[in-house]
Chain A
């Protein structure tokens, strides 16, 4: 993008507001879409997120809801893992009264963008409710602050049957989100799941928590948090984590060396990588593997971070067959390079999943509370110690997930052997 493009008459800001190229807060264009740089569009020259990060999360597997205080404590303790250029939170179970509607939470440049989104939704779905998301100015936190709005939507049944390409309301919502992020100027979908929402922005993790009033305002049974340390690019609101599609939220610490392969793979399945970060692609992989292909979560982790063939060779025949065929079928879905991710989902079984790459080049530690009702995961042990009620703290094994599920508790610790305790059947 050169200066002339920024000065395009399409810009809704006066010339005096332009500073150097792509200044944060000025208007710009990326891939044909207009928006405010640093908010709904990435800063100039920025194409892909490369970063180190802190991640923390907790789930009350007995379903008890809590406000954001504890997760904020966890993430803000790991100060070395952020540099004030982005942080975010995901909360699950916060809209019990509207749990059956999709909650689309958006970053918007201005009223006009909001009206365009509203128009779009009016055409596409039934708006059950919409409201501005609470925010308050935070001392020292750099602007510009976007307008933040949430829409609760129901998908009319007839639109599913009317479209030959859309099989479910989930597909329909994915399509809407892709449309907004790709085409509606000045609008960016932060989250689009049911009974969950993502709160993120450009700032320190404590600033973002204060900005959205997360310590008091919302109660959920599961919280995920992320703080960014981008190594070579400025932060922007949309580029902060967690990344979300439907109920899938993803906090990611790492750099995906297989990005080109993974991106082309998800694109083959109709996803559009519009957010320009490698973390986005992992979010889509979860949606593809678990929701659309129906892989059990444990199996999905074996596709994303597979065991080595040498280890697979040691398994009993049935297990070996499944592990090998997973690698054969999902080779392009394998996420390579250093990563440590925390994933939240709401349907069909609300769960928190923590996973590292198979060499564990990024940290991940897990814990369970004294009463065994809360499972924690974070980049560093200090975050868990800060909360202070851990009965046991352990390091999950390389490429081995921690899976905690609502009403079932800790179902996989990440220290088991592959398929340990699982009965394997082949119906082929």
Chain B
């Protein structure tokens, strides 16, 4: 680590400018209280802005009673260079100032093309009637967990006997669940809002890798709890309280990385949740140090199944990487009742920027190849395929299902529902909206009831749109939609992508 040096931070243009309309401003100072990034202050005479600190979270602007504040992009000209654009130059300046690894949060923000946007949907015409979801039932219920290959019945006269026992499954009212966000990455209020919304919707919420605060044990039946490499917050009592367990091997935002919660964030609340002393760093290792190969994973899966007496499904989450299909096959054979693929746009509370922006593969390809591989091996029924980390809105959801995912997992859309502005500063812990912070003063800004209602509304809206799409295709139940790639067509630039996804090009007919 280089020594600190006077003048090491050179002057560089700020990214944003905070414009204060002096005519309108009554100097009520509300903005200075609301700003959590030390941008706005009162200098004894008027409100002044330190533009360098502004992250465009819009909190000041939203809370200004006079609508006097506007945040704009800094119009400062950068000498043109197509390769060394502003982003690249800023990275260089920043790294030269600190000598460190660039931290980031939220998900990959680079303009990689979205394959979802290159897929279009089919609709029923003439030979099959479209179904109006407002008039006819269209079912979205689904089940998380392993299914048997077949059911065994015997029939003697009028007596029908079922002889197959099903593994544990969780009923979801809609094929969408909330992904893994820990108390630590998000606030206490934000997590309660998620739990309340999921209770109303009838779906699962991930706890992230931080364990479950005892206050939340009462929400156990909608909780999909994570067992990560640090084992934070994992004990037998906790395992028995929840509906599903998910072993986290990887995360889309940081494949090949563990977690890092600095000691200053380990408050009393976090300490109780993660079961570590107050003020200590919560560092989770990159790999599980008891899982160096597939047979080790199998042992952990069955250790968890034993601990929970085989009453809850146990899943495994991996980041979508090049060899996902083979890895997923191994996971299913090792006993994973559900597997979660996390795409390269997946979010995080903190990650090295280089990993966030450059590692992993698009979720569309991961879904398609994993689904295909599991079918080829005849083990597709043995697992529920969940996919997340790139699903931005309902259109992505329906395309993910048609490509072969059973359930979509979402995080950033849920945060957006609660008012997140995607300023990507979660790793700093000073979220002005009370979502990604542990500061009680900020956390209490998030109204739990409003947040829960907004999340439930989002789920309702997505589910209704899923119904609309199914109905338009003449499908009245979501299980007939999953893996139904024949109802997708590719309109993008690269036919190789269509080949990998086993999707025909637009213009090609059925068959």
Q: In the complex, are the beta carbons of B151 and A257 less than 8 A apart?
A: no
Interface membership of chain A positions 251-263, coded 1 if the CB is closer than 8 angstroms to chain B and 0 otherwise: 0001101111111
Given known A-B contacts A294-B153, A359-B476, A428 and B162 have beta carbons under 8 A apart: yes
Q: Which residues of A contact B165 (CB under 8 A)?
A: 428
B422 within 8 A of A: no
B81 within 8 A of A: no
A120 within 8 A of B: no
Given known A-B contacts A48-B511, A258-B484, A325-B166, A337 and B475 have beta carbons under 8 A apart: yes
A side interface size, CB within 8 A? 60
Of the candidates A257, A269, A421, A423, which one forms a contact with B473 in the assembled complex, judged by CB atoms under 8 Å apart?
Answer: A257
Give the contact stretch, choosing among A78-86, A328-336, A363-371: A328-336
User: What's the least CB distance linking A419 to chain B, in Å?
Assistant: 8
Of the candidates B129, B147, B486, which one forms a contact with A361 in the assembled complex, judged by CB atoms under 8 Å apart?
Answer: B129
Of the candidates B131, B150, B476, B481, which one forms a contact with A261 in the assembled complex, judged by CB atoms under 8 Å apart?
Answer: B481
Q: Which residues of A contact B152 (CB under 8 A)?
A: 293-294
User: What's the least CB distance linking B475 to chain A, in Å?
Assistant: 5
Interface membership of chain B positions 280-317, coded 1 if the CB is closer than 8 angstroms to chain A and 0 otherwise: 00000000000000000000000000000000000000
Closest to A50 in B: B127
Q: In the complex, are the beta carbons of A328 and B147 less than 8 A apart?
A: yes
Interface membership of chain B positions 443-487, coded 1 if the CB is closer than 8 angstroms to chain A and 0 otherwise: 000000000000000000000000000000111110111111111
B158 within 8 A of A: yes
Q: In the complex, are the beta carbons of B166 and A427 less than 8 A apart?
A: no
Q: Which residues of A contact B88 (CB under 8 A)?
A: none
Give the contact stretch, choosing among B36-44, B188-196, B325-333, B375-383: B375-383
B169 within 8 A of A: yes
Within 8 A of B (CB), among A254-309: 254-255, 257-264, 267-269, 276, 292-296, 298-299, 306, 308-309
Given known A-B contacts A48-B509, A296-B160, A359-B131, A326 and B151 have beta carbons under 8 A apart: yes
Give the contact stretch, choosing among B16-24, B53-61, B134-142: B134-142
Q: In the complex, are the beta carbons of B481 and A328 less than 8 A apart?
A: no
Closest to B138 in A: A308
Given known A-B contacts A264-B375, A296-B155, A308-B137, A426 and B480 have beta carbons under 8 A apart: no
B126 within 8 A of A: yes
- Interchain CA distance A374-B6 in the complex, whole Å: 101
B510 within 8 A of A: yes
B87 within 8 A of A: no
Q: Which residues of B contact A419 (CB under 8 A)?
A: 160
A139 within 8 A of B: no
Q: In the complex, are the beta carbons of A293 and B151 less than 8 A apart?
A: yes
Closest to B509 in A: A47
B128 within 8 A of A: yes
B148 within 8 A of A: yes
A231 within 8 A of B: yes
B496 within 8 A of A: no
Q: Which residues of A contact B482 (CB under 8 A)?
A: 261, 331-332
Q: In the complex, are the beta carbons of B484 and A424 less than 8 A apart?
A: no
Among the interface residues A261, A263, A267, A419, which one has the most CB atoms of the partner chain B within 10 A?
A261
Within 8 A of A (CB), among B167-187: 169
Q: In the complex, are the beta carbons of A231 and B126 less than 8 A apart?
A: yes
Closest to B510 in A: A48
Q: Which residues of B contact A276 (CB under 8 A)?
A: 511
Q: In the complex, are the beta carbons of A255 and B127 less than 8 A apart?
A: yes
Q: In the complex, are the beta carbons of A338 and B474 less than 8 A apart?
A: yes
Q: Which residues of A contact B479 (CB under 8 A)?
A: 261, 327, 331-332, 334
- Interchain CA distance A153-B200 in the complex, whole Å: 61
Of the candidates A267, A299, A331, which one forms a contact with B375 in the assembled complex, judged by CB atoms under 8 Å apart?
Answer: A267
Q: In the complex, are the beta carbons of B162 and A425 less than 8 A apart?
A: yes
Q: In the complex, are the beta carbons of A336 and B480 less than 8 A apart?
A: yes
- Interchain CA distance A425-B159 in the complex, whole Å: 7
- Interchain CA distance A295-B380 in the complex, whole Å: 20
Interface membership of chain B positions 480-505, coded 1 if the CB is closer than 8 angstroms to chain A and 0 otherwise: 11111111000000000000000000
A372 within 8 A of B: no
A119 within 8 A of B: no
A184 within 8 A of B: no
Given known A-B contacts A258-B484, A261-B484, A338 and B159 have beta carbons under 8 A apart: no
Of the candidates A51, A232, A257, A306, which one forms a contact with B475 in the assembled complex, judged by CB atoms under 8 Å apart?
Answer: A257
- Interchain CA distance A338-B150 in the complex, whole Å: 26
Given known A-B contacts A336-B474, A337-B474, A47 and B511 have beta carbons under 8 A apart: yes
- Interchain CA distance A264-B483 in the complex, whole Å: 8
Among the interface residues B136, B150, B475, which one has the most CB atoms of the partner chain A within 10 A?
B150
A200 within 8 A of B: no
Q: In the complex, are the beta carbons of B475 and A422 less than 8 A apart?
A: no
- Interchain CA distance A260-B510 in the complex, whole Å: 10
B71 within 8 A of A: no
Q: Which residues of B contact A308 (CB under 8 A)?
A: 137, 139
Interface membership of chain A positions 307-322, coded 1 if the CB is closer than 8 angstroms to chain B and 0 otherwise: 0111000000000011
Q: Which residues of A contact B148 (CB under 8 A)?
A: 329
Of the candidates A232, A310, A327, which one forms a contact with B137 in the assembled complex, judged by CB atoms under 8 Å apart?
Answer: A310
A166 within 8 A of B: no
Within 8 A of B (CB), among A371-428: 419, 421-428
A358 within 8 A of B: yes
A160 within 8 A of B: no
A52 within 8 A of B: yes
Q: In the complex, are the beta carbons of A295 and B153 less than 8 A apart?
A: yes
- Interchain CA distance A361-B482 in the complex, whole Å: 22
Q: In the complex, are the beta carbons of A422 and B158 less than 8 A apart?
A: yes
User: What's the least CB distance linking A157 to chain B, in Å?
Assistant: 26
- Interchain CA distance A325-B152 in the complex, whole Å: 11
Q: Which residues of A contact B477 (CB under 8 A)?
A: 306, 334, 336
- Interchain CA distance A210-B160 in the complex, whole Å: 44
B161 within 8 A of A: yes
Among the interface residues A254, A262, A328, which one has the most CB atoms of the partner chain B within 10 A?
A328
Q: Which residues of A contact B378 (CB under 8 A)?
A: 268-269
Q: In the complex, are the beta carbons of B158 and A260 less than 8 A apart?
A: no
Return 29 A-B CB contacts under 8 Å, by A number. A45-B509, A50-B510, A257-B474, A258-B480, A259-B484, A259-B486, A263-B486, A264-B375, A268-B376, A276-B511, A295-B151, A299-B160, A309-B141, A325-B151, A325-B162, A325-B166, A328-B147, A329-B147, A329-B166, A331-B482, A334-B480, A336-B475, A359-B131, A424-B161, A424-B162, A425-B159, A427-B161, A427-B162, A427-B163
Binding site for A on B (CB under 8 A): 124, 126-129, 131, 136-137, 139, 141, 143, 147-148, 150-153, 155, 158-166, 169, 375-376, 378, 380-381, 473-477, 479-487, 509-511
Other than the known A264-B483, A424-B160, what 6 A-B pairs have Cβ atoms closer than 8 Å?
A52-B127, A260-B486, A263-B486, A308-B139, A337-B475, A427-B162
